[in-house]
Amino acid sequence: MQNKKMNVELRTERIHKTISMIEERYRNSDKEPVHFQILKVQRYLALKYSGLQSVVDLLTKGDKQPDGSEGHLSDIEHTKFQTMTETHIKTASVTQGDRMLRDQERAANRRNNAQTNTQVEDSSTNANKRLKTDN
C-alpha cells in the first residue's frame, strides 16, 4: 500500500515539474496553451479510467461556447480543471493500482485452476488405464 502512495506522489511531482518546465519554456509565445491541452487530456483519461465519468462530464460541459453549444475538453479553463481534478488524479492512480493487482491475482488464480484441472484429468485417466483382472 505504501508503494502505491509513493507512486502517486512521484507521478504528481513529475507532472508538476513538467508543467512548470513547459510553462517556463513557452512563456510569452503563441504555443503557451499547448501544454494545458496535453495536461487536460492526461487528467481526462485518468478520471475516465477511474470511473469518475460524472466528474468528467461536469468538467467538459462546464464551459459554454459563445454560441451556447457544449464546451470541448480543450476549451475548458485550465485553472478550473486543475483545481478540481488534483485529488481525482491521486484517486485514479490508486484505483488503477488496485485494478492491476486484482487482474494479476485473477490471472494467477486462472493459471492455478488450469493446472489443477489438468492434474485431476491426468489422475482420472491413469485410474482408467489400470489393468482389470478377469474374474
Q: Can you give the pLDDT of all 135 residues of the chain as single tens digits?
A: 556 656 667 777 777 777 777 667 666 666 555 556 666 666 666 666 666 666 666 665 555 544 445 555 455 455 555 555 566 667 777 777 788 888 899 999 988 888 877 766 666 555 555 555 665
Domain ranges within the chain, ordered by starting residue: 2-106
Residue 2 has a pLDDT of 58
The burial class, CB within 10 Å (0-12 / 13-18 / 19+), for 85 is buried
Residue 105 has a pLDDT of 92
Rounded to whole angstroms, what are the CA distances from 131 to 61, 106, 127?
Answer: 75, 40, 9
pTM over 0.75: no
Residue 66 has a pLDDT of 46
What does the alpha-carbon distance between residue 57 and residue 48 come to, in Å, rounded to a whole number?
10
Amino acid identity of 24?
Answer: E
The set of cell numbers assigned to 124 is: 482420472
Residue 13 has a pLDDT of 77
